[in-house]
Structure 1
Amino acid sequence: MTNHSAAVPKIGVFDSGVGGLSVLKAIRREHPIVDFIYIADSGNAPYGSRPAAFIESRAHQIAERLVDAGAQVIVVACNTATAVAVARLRSHLPVPIIAMEPAIKPAVAQTKTGVVGVLATERTIESANVARLCRKFGQGVNVLLQPCPGLVEFVERGELSSARTREYLRMLVIPLMDKGTDTLVLGCTHYVFLESEIRDIAGPAVQIIESSAAVARQTLRHIGSKDIASAPYPGRGTFLTTGSPDSARVIFSQLWGAQVEVGALENSNVWAENRLN
C-alpha cells in the first residue's frame, strides 16, 4: 500500500483569520490530494490596523510552526502579512514562501476606462508593496486605493450578506463607480467571500479581480505535478485557530462549504489524520 506521507506534498497556509480559506480552496481545486495545515490567527485579527512589528512577529512565529510541522511550502494567504513580513520569512525560513499581492497589474491591463479601484485593508493600502505596484504598472491609469476598515470583521463573523454588510459595501464601492471605475481589485483574501455582494453593487459591467487562482498556480509549480486521477484518497487537512475553536468551527464550515473540525493552535503539533472530501 502506498504510504500517504510519501505520496503527497504538504503545504502550510496562514492568514490573520478565515480569509485565506479562499486561497486554500483554490489550491485544493487545482490539487485535491495535497495535505495541508491552515492556521487562522483569529485571536489577533484583523491585521489591517495592527503595527507592522506585531504583524511581522506573528507571521514569523506561525510560519515557523508550519515548517516544524513538516510543511514543504508555505502560503502567506494574507495581503497585509505579505506586505509587512514576506521579506523576513524568505530570508529566515528554509522552504519556498508563496505570497499574495493585490492584482493591480492584471487590472491595469484589463481596464477600458483607465480607472481601477482597489479594496484593501489600511495596512495594505499604505504598504510599500502597493506603492511599488502602482508605480510599476499604473502609469497612465487612475488607481483608486480604497481602505476598508472593519470589513474583515464582517467576514470573520460570517456576516456575508446582511443588510449591514451590504450598506457598508455600498459606501465603499459606489464612490469608486462614480469616478468611472470599471475594474475592481479585491486586495484582501477575506473580501473574496463578499464578491457576490460587491458584484451586485458594482454592476455586471465591472470586472472583479482577485489573486487566489494565481497563487494556487504558483503553489503547484513549487509542489510539482501529481497524477491526481490515480490517487486512492483525497489529501488530509488540519484547520487550526488562535481564537475560539468552537466559534471558528461555525465560520470555517460556512466558508469551506462542508463541516470541518477546528483545533486550537497551542494544542496541535502534528498533521491531522482526517481526510477531506
Structure 2
Amino acid sequence: MKIALMDSGIGLIAAAAAVRRLRPDADLVLSSDPDGMPWGPRSVQDVTERALAVAEAAAEHRPEALIVACNTASVHALPALRARLEPGIPVIGTVPAIKPAAAGAGPVAIWATPATTGSPYQRGLIRDFADGVEVTEVPCPGLADAVQHADEDAIDRTIAAAAALTPTDVRAVVLGCTHYELVAERIRAAVQQPGMPPLVLHGSAGAVAAQALRRIGAGPDAASGAQGALTVILSGRTSALPPTALAYAEGRLLQAAVSHAQ
C-alpha cells in the first residue's frame, strides 16, 4: 500500500503521522513545495499551478491515493487536482472540521490563513454546517510560516496575536490550516481561559487519513509488524525530512519509523 500526501510545506506531517499510526505498513510519499511556500498569499492561479506540480511529483511514485494535506490547496486547487489525477489516483481534500466543532456546545472560533479566512469556501462551510452557531473567523498571518521554520519566537507571537482576536467564551477552535495542528497544544494553552471547561480543538489529520484508507478499500491495522518506506520530495527534489520537521512529535514519529525499518 502506498499513500501520497501533498502540502506547501511540513503541515502534511500531521496527516502523514495519522496514516502511519493507522497503517504502519503503508509506504508514504510526502511531496511539498518549500521553494514556493507559503501558498496562502498567492493568487488562485498560482496556487493551482504549484499544487499541480507538487501532486504530479507525488504521482510519479504511483500511489494508490493522494491526500491534499493543505487547506489552501483544497480551497483553490482541488477540482484541478481531481481533473488531472482521477480516476487513476483518488484525491482526498482537507476540509476544516467546522461540522463537528459546530455540533458541540458553545461558540466556535476558526483559525485559518488570511486567504482562507472570509473566503467564499469557508463561509459556505459555516453556512452549511454551523447555522445558528456563533462562529468567529480568526486570521492568523504568519503562523504557518513560523511553524514551517520552527521559529519558536514567531510561533509564540503569531499564536498570541490570534488568541487576542479569539473571544474568551469560545468552547472549540477549528484548526483551519494543517500547519497549526503541529502546535495544537500551544494554541490550546493560549486560548484556554481559567475556570472554563477544557477547550476542544478540531483538526483534520485523523479524518483525512481514515478517508484515504476508505477510498482504497483498506482499514486500519495498527498492529501490523511491517514498517512502510518514506519518500520525501521537496519542490520536485528527492530529499530527507527537513530538519524543521523533527522539531515536532509528528516528524519524529515518521523519522523513527524510517530508522526502525533501516
Range class of TM-score, shorter chain: 0.7 to 0.9
State the secondary structure of the residue aligned to 1:124: coil
Partner of residue 103, structure 2: 109
Contact 2:163-2:191 within 8 A present in 1 as well: yes
State the distance in 2 between where 1:142 and 1:216 align.
Answer: 29
Partner of residue 62, structure 1: 54
1:237 to partner: Cα distance: 0.7
Q: Does 1:170 align with 2:170?
A: no
Q: Does 1:147 align with 2:136?
A: no
Unaligned ranges ≥5, structure 2: none
Contact 2:232-2:240 within 8 A present in 1 as well: no
Partner of residue 197, structure 1: 186
State the distance in 2 between where 1:215 and 1:259 align.
Answer: 17
Q: Quick check: 244-253 or 115-124, which moved more?
A: 244-253
Contact 1:43-1:243 within 8 A present in 2 as well: no
Query: Could you tell me the TM-score, scaled by structure 2's length?
Result: 0.87
State the secondary structure of the residue aligned to 2:213: helix
Partner of residue 50, structure 1: 42
Partner of residue 207, structure 2: 214
1:18 to partner: Cα distance: 0.4
Contact 2:22-2:222 within 8 A present in 1 as well: no
Please list, as runs of the form range in 1=range in 2, the aligned pairs for 1:172-191 lying within 5 A after superposition: 172-178=162-168, 180-191=169-180
State the distance in 1 between where 2:191 and 2:239 align.
Answer: 35
Contact 1:98-1:215 within 8 A present in 2 as well: yes
Partner of residue 33, structure 1: 25
Q: Does 1:252 align with 2:241?
A: no
CA RMSD of aligned residues (A): 2.6
Q: Compared with structure 1, are the counterparts of its residues 69 and 121 closer, same or farther at alpha carbon in structure 2 (3 Å cutoff)?
A: same
Q: Deviations over 1:161-200 (max 9, x none)?
A: x35422331221133133x211100000100111111111
Partner of residue 235, structure 2: 242
Structure 2 counterpart of 1:212, one-letter code = A
State the secondary structure of the residue aligned to 2:108: strand
Structure 2 counterpart of 1:108, one-letter code = A
State the distance in 1 between where 2:66 and 2:240 align.
Answer: 25
Q: Compared with structure 1, are the counterparts of its residues 200 and 245 closer, same or farther at alpha carbon in structure 2 (3 Å cutoff)?
A: farther
Q: Compared with structure 1, are the counterparts of its residues 90 and 258 closer, same or farther at alpha carbon in structure 2 (3 Å cutoff)?
A: closer
State the secondary structure of the residue aligned to 1:213: helix
State the distance in 2 between where 1:11 and 1:259 align.
Answer: 14
Q: Deviations over 1:127-161 (max 9, x none)?
A: 332121011112111211111111111111112xx
State the distance in 2 between where 1:46 and 1:252 align.
Answer: 16
State the distance in 1 between where 2:76 and 2:4 align.
Answer: 19
Unaligned ranges ≥5, structure 1: 1-8, 262-272
State the distance in 2 between where 1:40 and 1:202 align.
Answer: 30
Partner of residue 14, structure 1: 6
Contact 1:249-1:260 within 8 A present in 2 as well: no
State the secondary structure of the residue aligned to 1:33: coil
1:275 to partner: Cα distance: 7.0
Structure 1 counterpart of 2:179, one-letter code = H
Between Structure 1 and Structure 2, whose CA radius of gyration is higher?
Answer: 1
1:276 to partner: Cα distance: 4.3
Contact 1:122-1:148 within 8 A present in 2 as well: yes
State the secondary structure of the residue aligned to 1:125: coil
Q: Compared with structure 1, are the counterparts of its residues 53 and 172 closer, same or farther at alpha carbon in structure 2 (3 Å cutoff)?
A: same
